[in-house]
Amino acid sequence: MISFIMKENTEGREVVIEVKDLVRKFGDRTVLNGVDLKVYKGETFVIMGGSGCGKSTLLRHIIGNLKPTSGRVMLLGQDITERYGEELDEVRKKIGMSFQSSALFDSMTVGENVSLPLKEHTKLDKGVIEIMIKMKLELVGLRGFEDLLPSELSGGMRKRVGLARAIAMDPQIIFYDEPTAGLDPIVAAVIDKLIIDLSKKLSVTTVVVTHDMKSVFTIADRIAMLYEGKVLEVGTCDEIKNSKNEMVQQFINGSPDGPIRFFQQKDDYLESLFKA
Amino acid sequence: MSNFIYRTGKTTLDLIGHIKEILSLLYTTVSWIFTGPFRKKPASRPSIFQQMVFAGVQSIVIVFFIALFTGIVIAMQSAYQLKQLGAIIYVAPMVSISMARELGPVFTALVVAGRVGSAITAEIGTMKVSEQIEALETLALDPVRFLVVPRFLALIVMLPCLTIMADIIGVLGGMLVGVFNLKLNFYRYMSFSFDFLTWKDVWTGLLKSFCFGAVISMIACYVGLDTRGGAEGVGRATTLSVVISFILIVLFDCILTGLFYFSNV
């Protein structure tokens, strides 16, 4: 008990997500190779890294959609690697997720998309749910669009509707998978501003997975850099900017030459050319 | 040689894995149907209704034409044979019994597998590749309860209904040939049609179509949920779903007919 209190004091804040030595293998390929992370309550935590470094896979492990080969994920104090079905759903009701492709249900209108979790998980009556949809859509600046279908919206609007759906159940943590990917700079900036606004207005914990450096430094309280399935470095924006790690510097500055090789050669080039 | 053995073994193991997963999907679906209402989580009625309209009502036209022309063709083909025996009136029970036992259930199931099964796979497959299935899970909504249960219920209810319709339309198709071409008396034709038809012919046919409904919906949903690889993957899954459904419908038909009519139990 004393050690528990000591730990709380040294950390200062409550831990809402804790990833311990997470390993995930797909066949022979190791995608996550021992990830350790802690996310504190109320902060905006950004996981950045190049394409294919396993950051989306990590996110899917944190929300319980994938199960690890070994290691543990504690989400809101629950070990979700050992939870299935309804137990897992109870934890999931407390989180919201905004997907890279928005993942809106095509057959439903904007209003139905946002109200779906409310209709399914609460006993609120129709009138209240309608008011709540209006409030959620107002937060993302899309009030009045309830009756449109997702196919009638632009990419940025779909992202925002997905966000409204993610916050419908008033989650304690919001996850974003590549929130600005495929959007023009202005819309990307709007989404960044929205992420900051929501985390302030709703005072939630925010976890963002992205490789968009501009938005990383705009929104992040703390940053983790992921490379080849491992956490290279964790720190605040300034700590990461002034990092001594060459890989981190290469990634931030986006330079093609450096310790991170873009071409991954498996065998000798000449040898493979003349092997035939 | 060892490569051949390796591939045969791998294919077999994969197949067993798929069969296990389909059976477990069936188990989950059926348990949701029965336990859902008690856990305060029944499948949504509007969605079941919507699926019933799509699978049932909107299939009426195509089933109508298939059944009508099947009935006409059987009447014409059997008339040719029965004429030589001087037993032309037996065209009537020929049509009614073969429609009720065999052709009604099987043709309706094949049509519905092509029309509804493919649509289910394409829809669920698209949802899978565009992260919508994952979004459902993240919203703490079970994809089986939300997507599979309504489609399963709709098909096991609507397919027997369509089969009843197909049986009747088929008999009427045969009647057209009997009355207008073979110059048989309408009342005599109809009484022969129904006098020779036993209850067993009808209920075995309906039981078959109930099973086909379960087969089509399970295969379509499973293949849809198993879709990988973008738009191309959806196309491949849709084709696969229809092919597997067709084979299984014929296979189940064979097994059930054997059980109903050729078992000594």
Q: B24 pLDDT exceeds 90?
A: yes
A246 lies in some domain: yes
A170 lies in some domain: no
Alpha-carbon radius of gyration of chain B: 21
Question: What SS3 state is found at A66?
Answer: coil
Judge residue A34's burial from the number of C-beta atoms within 10 Å of its C-beta, 0-12 exposed, 13-18 middle, 19 or more buried: middle
Bridge-partner residues for A173, per DSSP?
A95, A205
Chain B residues touching residue A103 (CB < 8 angstroms): 130-132, 134-135
Bridge-partner residues for A48, per DSSP?
A210, A225
A·B CB contacts under 8 A: 50
CB-CB contact of B129 with B27 (8 Å): no
Contact B140 A104 (CB under 8 A): no
Sheet holding A70-75, edge to edge: A29-40, A15-26, A70-75, A78-79
Chain A residues touching residue B139 (CB < 8 angstroms): 92, 116-117, 120, 165, 169
- Give the model confidence (pLDDT) of A18-60 as tens digits: 888 888 888 888 888 888 888 888 889 999 888 778 888 888 8
Q: Using CA atoms, how far apart are residues B197 and B94, in angstroms rounded to an integer?
A: 9
A190 lies in some domain: no
CATH number, domain of A37, equals 3.40.50.300
Chain B residues touching residue A93 (CB < 8 angstroms): 140
Q: Identify the pLDDT of residue B150.
A: 94
- Residue A112: which region, alpha, beta or left (left: phi > 0; alpha: psi -120 to 50)? alpha
Q: Using CA atoms, how far apart are residues A4 and B127, in angstroms rounded to an integer?
A: 44
> Exposed e or buried b for every residue in A216-229, given b needs 16+ CB within 10 A?
bebbbbbbbbbbbb
CB-CB contact of A48 with A224 (8 Å): yes
- Give the model confidence (pLDDT) of A170-190 as tens digits: 889 999 998 888 888 888 888
- Give the model confidence (pLDDT) of B73-105 as tens digits: 999 999 888 888 888 888 889 999 999 999 999
Domain membership of residue A225 as a residue range = 1-86+203-258
A276 lies in some domain: no
Domain count, chain A: 1
A121 lies in some domain: no
A150 lies in some domain: no
A175 lies in some domain: no
**Taking the C-alpha atoms of B199, B203, B205 and B209 in order, what is their torsion angle to the nearest 10 degrees?**
160
DSSP annotation of A100 reads T
A17 lies in some domain: yes
CB-CB contact of B140 with A64 (8 Å): no
- Give the model confidence (pLDDT) of B220-259 as tens digits: 999 999 999 888 999 999 999 999 999 999 999 999 999 9
Contact B130 A117 (CB under 8 A): no
Backbone phi and psi for residue B171, each to the nearest 5 degrees, phi listed first: -60, -40
- Give the model confidence (pLDDT) of A137-147 as tens digits: 988 888 888 89
CA nearest neighbour of B51 among B148, B160, B166, B130:
B148
Alpha-carbon radius of gyration of chain A: 20
